[in-house]
Amino acid sequence: MAKAIRIHKNGGPEVLTYEDVEIGAPGPGQVHIVQKAVGLNFVDTYQRSGLYPIPLPFVPGSEGAGDIVAIGKGVKDWKVGDRVAYGTAIGAYASERLIDADKLVKLPKNISYEVGAAMMLKGLTVQYLLRQTFKVRAGDTLLVHAAAGGIGLILCQWAKALGATVIGTVSSEEKAKLAKKAGAKHIIFYTREDFAARVKDITKGKLCDVVYDGVGKTTFAGSLDCLKPRGLMVSFGNASGPVEGVNLGILAQKGSLFVTRPTLASYATTPESLRKMAKDLMRVVASGDVKIPVHSRFALADAAKSHEALEGRETTGTTVLLP
């Protein structure tokens, strides 16, 4: 009997219940994995609250790492004992699970299970943000909101390695230190500064080529003021609530701006594209250009506490749940 967190009704962290679950045998195209670590992400709170509706009941979470212990019919690329990781398969908050084999990527021996679980969803997100949504090049200037968050720290490191200048927004001195260490050349304390005015000062009026905004509602309007004419606003998250009521005319007034609302699912559309993206991510992690330290650990049974900490802005960087 395995253990899992299940959600029977949408709501706050209290709806996360720790239960026994039957796993069963893997079906065609599936494998059975025993998980060593599970990644915690802000999107998990959207699934829990119902902002991103999922049929009830369900096991939340989208990324993890572990070992294959059984294989279903038709699976050719994997064998029992393989170390694997994934970042795009709902049902992660569990000690064991069945998963479609085409959602998996190989986890090299030089990357730990905890790092593998912590890096997949966030790292693959950064891969498409920097290498596909906007192809960052040396000399580009970027604004990264929540620069000390899980995605922010990876984004700062990778963008610096590409030769970009990173401006990061944070809420505290502690988070400022983390973001600077990760590669943010300039720091803005959004809780006490007008970040759009500071961006204008920092860039001497030249503004940014691209803004990466996972915060949403509270930062969207100001972010548009940080962009050069024909700059790109990448709104990829809703930590402060969803962006609503966008007036397209504003984009014209502010310099023919572009806006996109991308998701990982729209980029990792096939097993081949997923593995290509993962290979790029593994490369920068193995080279040391991107380091993914695990900042916090919670027992799987304490998933509710992890959500409280995440939504209370008490976490920095990456957090894992340990079955």
By CB atoms closer than 10 A (0-12, 13-18, 19+), residue 38 is buried
Place of tokens 């090049």: 137
- 160 and 98 in a common domain: no
What was the pLDDT predicted at 21? 95
Ranges in the chain, pLDDT < 50: none
Residues pairing with 100 in the sheet: 30
What per-residue confidence (pLDDT) applies to 17?
97
Q: How many CB atoms lie within 10 A of CB 190?
A: 21
pLDDT at 232: 98
Total domains, the chain: 2
Contact 281, 272 (CB under 8 A): no
Q: What is the pLDDT of residue 241?
A: 79
* pTM for the model: 0.87
- Of 59, 43, 62, whose CA–CA distance to 51 is shortest? 43
Residue 256: left if φ>0, alpha if ψ -120 to 50, beta else—which one?
left
* CA-based nearest residue to 100, from 255, 271, 245, 221: 271
Per-residue tokens: 187 = 């720091």
- Run of H or E including 45: helix 42-49
Please give the residue range of the domain that contains residue 69. 2-120+270-322
What's the pLDDT at 268?
94
209 shares a domain with 103: no
Q: Read off the CATH number of the domain in which 72 is found.
A: 3.90.180.10
**Predicted local distance difference test score (pLDDT) of residue 245:** 81
Q: Which of 261, 283, 303 is the last residue of a domain?
A: 261
Q: What local confidence, expressed as pLDDT, does residue 61 receive?
A: 96
Task: Tell me if 131 is assigned to some domain.
Answer: no
